[in-house]
Structure 1
Amino acid sequence: MEEGARRRGGSEKATDGPDQLAEGGVGLKKEIGLVSACGIIIGNIIGSGIFVSPKGVLENAGSVGLALLVWIITGLITAVGALCYAELGVTIPKSGGDYAYVKDIFGGLAGFLRLWIAVLVIYPTNQAVIALTFANYVLHPLFSTCLAPESGLRLLAGVCLLLLTWVNCASVRWATRVQDVFTAGKLLALALIIIMGIVQICKGHYYWLEPRHAFEAFTPVDVGMVALAFLQGSFAYGGWNFLNYVTEELVDPYRLFFAGAREGHLPSLLAMIHMRRCTPIPALLFTCVSTLLMLVTSDIYTLINYVGFINYLFYGVTVAGQIVLRWRQPHMARPIKVSLFFPVVYLLFWAFLLVFSLWSEPVVCGVGLAIMLSGVPVYGLGVAWHRKPPAVYTCLAAVTRVAQKLCGVVYPEMEPPNPDRTEQLEPMCNSGDPNQPHN
C-alpha cells in the first residue's frame, strides 16, 4: 500500500528527499492517472494465483471438462459481481470500496467486520500465497525429483516478504519500479504459457479437448469438492473489485487503512506515513507481521480455500446490500443501474459456494468465521465504547507517540471535503483524545 505525498502550499511533485516538509505538512497526493489505474487493476486480477490455482481446480473437479466448466462459470459470476459493484461504486462514491458500502448500508459493526477480516485475513493470506508460489517455483529446479522441504519454502517466502516490505518502506519510487517489473514478468509468463499451449494443439496434442474425452476421467464427485474447485478458480479471478478502490483513488487518495482510521475503526497509527519517504511504514509492518504468521502452513491450497471462503462471504454481503439499498432508497441517484437479476444470480451462486465449502472444509472455513466473529468484542471495546477511562487514552497515546518516534511517521494532511461528493472526510481518530468522535 504505497502512497505519494505532496507539500501543502508547495510543489505538487512528490519526492523522496529530506526537503519534503520544507513548506508544510505531509499529505497524500492524487497521482494515479487512468493508465496507472488500469495497470493496478490488471496487475491485481492477473496475479500469482493463475500460476497455482489451475492444479487445485483440476484436482477438485475430477476431469478436464468439469474443470473448464468451473473456469467458465466462475468467470461469468465474477463479471456479474463486477456489474453489481459498478452500481454500488457510483451510488456510494466513497473511498474504501466494499468496506464503505457495507458500513453505510448495514451499519458500523458490519463495516468494521469487513475491515477486520480484510486486515487480518484477506490481505495477509493473499500475500502469503504469492510468497509461497514464488518460493515453490524458485526451489523446484533444485528439487525436481521430490517436493521442496516445507521449512525451505517458508524460509524463502519469509525472506521475500521482508525484502519487499523493506523496499515499500524505503521508497515509493522503488516500490513502483519493482511492481512494474513483476507485472511485466507475469504477463510474459502468461504469454509463454499461451503460446506453448497453441503450439501443442497444433502438434495434435488436443486429446483432452475433444468432447468425447473431456469427461473421460470423470466420476461422481462430492458437490463440496466442486465448490472447492470454484473457490480455487475464484482466487485466480480475484482483484476484480479493485476497480472500486482505484476509481476513488483518482478523486480522493485514501486507501483502506486511511478510510478505516478516518472512521475510527482502526488505530490512527496505521494511517500514518513517513515524514520524508511518504510511505505508510506502520501499515506495511503490520501487514508483514500478519503475513509471516500465515506462513505457519506451506499448503498453498489450504490458504486459498481459507481466503476464498472469507472473500466470498463479504462479496455476498456487499451484493446483498445493493438489493437492500434499492429497497430503502429506490429514488437514489444511480448513474449505473443494473437489473436485480444480476445480484440475485450472484447470491444464489454465493449461497451454494459457502454452504458446500463449509461442508467440505469445516475446519478451514470455521477458523475464518471465528476470526471474523472475534471482531465483535473488539468493535464493542474499541469503537462502540465511547467513554473509556482516561488511563486507557493515556496509555494509547503513549504507545502511539513511541511508535511515531521509532518509525518517523505523522498524520497525513487531508483535503477538505468536495461539496460535489457525498463523502464527508472526517478527521482520523486520535487514540489519545477521548473527545474524538467514533462512528
Structure 2
Amino acid sequence: MADKEPEALKIRREIGLVGGVALVSGTMIGSGIFMSPQFVMAYVGSPGASLVIWALSGVVAMFAALSYTELGTVIPESGGDFIYILRIYGPCPAFFAAVTFILVVKPFSIAAMAISIAEYAMAPFYPGCQPPELAVKCTAAVMIVVVATVNILNVRLAVRVQVIFLVAKVIALTVIVIGGMVEISQSSAIIVENLNVENSFKGTHYSVSALGMGFFQGLWSYAGWYNLNHVTEELKRPEVNLPRALLIAIFLVTGLYLLVNVSYLTVMTPKELMSSNAVAVTWGNKVFGSWGWIMSVAAALSAFGSLNGTFFSGGRVCFVAAREGHMPDILSMAHVHRLTPSPALIFTTAVSLVVLIPGDFQSIVNFFSFTAWFFYAITLSGLLYLKIKKPELPRPYSVPIILPILVLIVAVFLVLAPIIDDPQIEYLYVTLFILSGAVVYVPFIHYKLCPGLLTKLTTFLQLFLEVAPAEKNL
C-alpha cells in the first residue's frame, strides 16, 4: 500500500476578539504618541492645528480600517495590501507591492519603533542631552532580535506579549491624562495660554507640504489599523471579529491620543514641546520631578508592544507573498513544531537590521508614510472597483462607498503633498527603488529562471530550519 503524501501544515486560528483589539491598538499605541507630537507641532506650527491633525488622523485611520474590513471579508486571506492587489489587479502590481512592503514599509516601521524604544530607554542615563547614536542603534538592534525571537517561538506567546504590553501602555497614557488633569486643577495658566482663542492657531503653517508632513507624523501614530488584515487566516470568525476589533481599538486610541496631547500642553509651551527630544520624558520631568524617568520606562515599554505587533504582521506579508510565488519558496514555510512562519520572520529581521544602520526616526517615518500611502491608494481603488463592477460578491461586511473615496483622496494628497510643495531627491530614490523590482520580476518571477539553484538552497534551508510548506487557512 502506497504511503500517503504528507499533509501541508496549517497555521492555526489563535486570535480572538481580545487578541485582535490588542494587536491593533497595541501596535497603534507605541512610539508615535511619545515621539511624534513635537514633529506634528513643528510642521503645523500651533497647538490648535496640532490637535486638529491628531483628530483628523484618527478619523482617516477609522475610515481606512473600515474600508479594509470589507476587503478582508471579501478576500479572507492573510497578506493585507499584497493579497488584495494580487486578487484584484494581478501578479505584476502585486509583486511591486510585496517588494515594497517587505523591503521598505515593514522594515522601516520596525526600525523606527526600535529606535524610539532605544532613545526612551537610554534617556534617563543621558539627562539633558541626546544619547550616542551608536548606543541607540545597538540597543535598537537588540530589541528587534528579542521581538523576533518571541514571534518565532510561539504565536500564542506573541499575542500574550501584545495583550500584556497593551495594558501597560494604556496605564501609562492614563497616567499622563490624569497628571494633566491634576496640573490643570493646580494651575491652568499654560493650557489657557496654549489653547485660548487668540493663541491656539497663531503661527499655523498652511502650506501643502507642512500639512502633508504633519499628517505623516500623525498617521504614523495610528499605524497599525491595518494589522488584522495581514493575519486574517489566524483570526477566529473574521467576519465578526475584524470590524469589532477595529472599531473598539481605534475609538480607544483616538480618545487617548487627544487627551494625552492636551495633557502635554498643560505643562509645555509649543516651543518647549517642539524642542524636546522625548516629549513624554520632558512632561514627566515637569510633573513628577526626580521621578520623571518613570515616563521614559513607560514609553519604552509602549513602543516595545507596538514593535511586537508590527513584527507579527510584517512577517505574514513576506510569508503570504512567498506562498503566492512572489518570493522564494522557503519564506512560505512554517516550523513543523511551532507552526510559526519562522523563515519569513527571520528574513524580516535581517532586512530591518540593515535599514536600522543608516536611518533616523524622522526620515524613516516620512519615507515609510510616503511609500505606504501610495499602496494604500492602490488598494482602496481596488475596493472601489469591486464595489462598482462586482457588487454580487458575498460581503459579510460592507461600508458606504463614500468612506473609501474620502480615504483615497487623503492618500493621494499625502503622496503628492511633499513632492509638489517641497520636492526632495529622497522621494525619487524611493520611487526608483520600487520600480527597480521589475529587474527581479521579469527574469525570476515571470520567466522563472534559475529554478535548480533555488531548489537546492530551499532544500538545505528547509532541513536546517525544520520547516515545511504551509497551506491556506480559509
Of 211, 231, 234, the residue aligned with 2:197 is 211
Q: Deviations over 1:366-393 (max 9, x none)?
A: 232222212222222222114x3xxx22
- Alignment partner, residue 264 of structure 1: 325
Answer whether contact 1:169 1:284 (CA < 8 A) is retained. yes
Preserved CA contact (<8 Å) 2:60 2:407: yes
Matched residue of 1:214: which SS? coil
Match of 2:383 among 302, 322, 325: 322
Cα distance in 2 for residues equivalent to 1:206 and 1:286: 47
Query: Please, which runs of 5 or more residues in structure 1 have no aligned partner?
Result: 1-22, 419-439
Q: Does 1:280 align with 2:341?
A: yes
Aligned to 1:8: none
Give, in whole Å, the separation in 1 of the partners of 2:472 and 2:409: 41
Deviation by residue 1:272-305 (Cα, 9 ceiling, x = unmatched): 2223333332212211111111112352011110
CA deviation profile, 1:395-420 (whole Å, cap 9, x unmatched): 111111222233222223556xx6xx
Between 63-72 and 278-287, report the one with greater CA deviation: 278-287
Rounded Cα–Cα distance in structure 2 between residues aligned with 1:27 and 1:368: 36
- TM normalised by structure 1 equals 0.81
Distance 1:31 1:83 in 2: 22
The aligned counterpart of 2:407 is 346
AA partner of residue 36 (structure 1): G
Equivalent in the alignment of 1:140? 123
Counterpart for residue 433 of structure 1: none
2:470 corresponds, among 397, 412, 419, to 412
State the identity as a percent: 34
Select the residue among 411, 419, 431 that pairs with 1:358. 419
Aligned counterpart for 2:447 among listed residues 379, 385, 388: 385
Please, which moves more after superposition, 78-87 or 393-402?
78-87
Q: Secondary structure at the residue paired with 1:94?
A: coil
Q: Quickly say closer, same or farther: Cα 1:89–1:162, change in 2 above 3 A.
A: closer
How many Å separate the matches in 1 of 2:232 and 2:150? 26
Indicate which of 186, 191, 216 corresponds to 2:174.
191
Matched, 1:121 2:104: yes
1:103 equivalent in alignment to 2:86 = yes
2:437 to 375, 378, 392: 375
Deviation at 1:164, TM superposition (A): 2.5
Aligned residue for 2:470, secondary structure, equals: coil
Deviates more, 1:91-100 or 1:60-69: 91-100
The answer to whether the 8 Å contact 2:77/2:232 transfers is no
Contact 1:200–1:206 (8 Å) recurs in 2 = no
Query: What's 2:363 paired with?
Result: 302
Please give the alpha-carbon distance, in whole angstroms, between the structure 2 residues aligned to 1:48 and 1:196.
Answer: 20
SS of 1:376's partner is helix
Aligned residue in 2 for 1:225:
210
Partner of 1:149: 132
Q: 2-side partners of 1:381 and 1:175: how far apart?
A: 37
Shift of 1:234: 0.6
Task: Sort the Cα spacing of 1:368 and 1:189 in 2 relative to 1 into closer, same or farther, 3 A.
Answer: farther
Aligned length: 389
Deviation of 1:38 after TM superposition, in Å, equals 2.2
Shift of 1:265: 1.2
In the TM superposition, residue 173 of structure 1 has moved relative to its aligned partner by 5.1
Match of 1:235 in 2: 220
> Does the 8 Å contact 1:358/1:366 carry over to 2?
no
Query: 2:94 and 2:322 mapped to 1: Cα distance?
Result: 12
Check the 8 A contact 1:95/1:252 in 2, yes or no: no
Aligned amino acid, residue 412 of structure 1 = A
